[in-house]
Amino acid sequence: MPRKGENIYKRKDGRWEGRYIKGRTSDGKAVYGYVYARTYREVKGKMMDKRLSMSRPGGKDDGDKCGILFGDIAAEWFQMIKPQVKESTQNKYQNLLESYILTAFGETSLCHMTHSFMEAQCREWLCSGGKKGRGLSPKSVSDILSIVRGILQFARINGNDIPCDGRSIQIKNTVHEMRVLSRKEQERLCLYLYSDLNACNIGILISLFTGLRVGEICALRWEDISISEQTIHICRTMQRIQDKSGKNGRTKIVVTTPKSPCSIRTIPIPEELMQILISFQTSRTGYFLTGSRQKYMEPRTMQNRFKAALKNCSVSNANYHALRHTFATRCVELGFDVKSLSEILGHANVNITMNRYVHPSMELKKANMQRLSGLFIVK
């Protein structure tokens, strides 16, 4: 059976066959071409290559602008955007293109990309999308729609008429409550970490008191820590991503610059934490968590170590990113100015800091409300 909307079949001889539109007759009838490979992924790649080659000048008849397929423009857009984004972002775009966007819109003419047509598809993704047909999350559909908008804007810039660029379609996102350690939970965790100051536990303390992401602490090197200035310079991050080349298995570890230019930052270290780092320092080079120039601890391992620490000190389960939320919340409770906090966290503006990472505790809310007591007039 073919995968829905993709025109990809598994043949009786074990190979995969992909069918694509390579042209049209004078009366608009589709003329199909075929590609073959041993795996489904290879066929998907070959079909995308075919779309790209046909979208180049001379690759197909450009006379009928309405006849240009969304899939052709999408392939051209993807090749244009690839050099501008990180490999992890390339993988994300390619996965969404192959799994959802080209399946739904690939063989649709640009002139048929209307508001109602795209909005109906978004509703379908929300209600019955995904591998199990239970619907995609609003965040996933928003990510898909963002790519579709980028492709349509690219089409318009290149002289194509489109009835809708997708900006009129809005997806209502649900806000999930972020996990923040309470003060008592933070105290229990700190006491446990202080009892065994190994590299991993100190790394957790660094994230708790500086807001570092798990990829940033894993990529942190002793060269990034200035003892004299009492600062940490964040200039790289580590993550495990898909290996589309297939040379290193399904995934691989990459160390790159942080997620945005604003994430490259220098963070002052609290005095007590600095003393711990000085007493622990055994090298001036290499990864902080391993002390080795080549060997590293990957984010997945660090995440597991953190969860084990929470379990050992009887703190409810949380993801590593909860340390970042907790740091931001404690800073607000202690009266940090938001601009300083925003720069320490590596945010582009203070609105991101306030809306996404700051979670006032009930104690802080009570203290703020208590300030109203002086306004009561008691006879």
State the average pLDDT over residues 241-269: 86
Could you tell me which residue, 353 or 23, shows the higher pLDDT? 353
CA distances to 75, 152, 160, 375 from 71, in Å: 6, 11, 14, 65
Q: What is the dihedral of CA 270, 273, 278, 284, to 10 degrees?
A: -80
State the average pLDDT over residues 105-125: 91
Please say if the pLDDT value at position 169 is more than 50. yes
Please say if the pLDDT value at position 61 is more than 60. no
Is the distance from CB of 110 to CB of 66 less than 8 angstroms?
Answer: yes
pLDDT in tens, 183-193: 999 999 999 99
pLDDT value of position 126: 94
> pLDDT confidence of 1, banded at 50, 70, 90?
very low
> pLDDT confidence of 56, banded at 50, 70, 90?
low
pLDDT value of position 28: 63
Task: Give the distance, in angstroms, between the CA of residue 314 and the centroid of all CA atoms in the same chain.
Answer: 30
> pLDDT confidence of 62, banded at 50, 70, 90?
very low
State the average pLDDT over residues 75-82: 94
Q: Which two tokens stand for residue 352?
A: 């991101």
Q: What is the mean pLDDT of the chain?
A: 86
**d(Cα 252, Cα 95) in Å, to the nearest integer?**
16
Could you tell me which residue, 59 or 77, shows the higher pLDDT? 77
pLDDT value of position 26: 64
Please say if the pLDDT value at position 373 is more than 70. yes
CA distances to 58, 161, 167, 338, 344 from 233, in Å: 50, 48, 38, 20, 11
3-state secondary structure at position 225? strand
**d(Cα 232, Cα 310) in Å, to the nearest integer?**
25
Is the distance from CB of 260 to CB of 174 less than 8 angstroms?
Answer: no
pLDDT value of position 379: 58
Provide the whole-model pTM: 0.74
State the Cα angle at 139 between 135 and 142, rounded to 5°: 95
CA distances to 133, 146, 149, 242, 307 from 99, in Å: 13, 15, 17, 15, 32
pLDDT value of position 260: 83
Written out in words, the top-level CATH class of the domain with range 183-367 is mainly alpha
State the average pLDDT over residues 337-344: 90
Of 51-65, 132-146, 236-250, where does mean pLDDT reach its minimum?
A: 51-65
Written out in words, the top-level CATH class of the domain with range 8-157 is mainly alpha
pLDDT value of position 63: 41
Domain ranges of the chain: 8-157, 183-367
CA distances to 77, 143, 149 from 129, in Å: 24, 14, 19
> pLDDT confidence of 54, banded at 50, 70, 90?
low
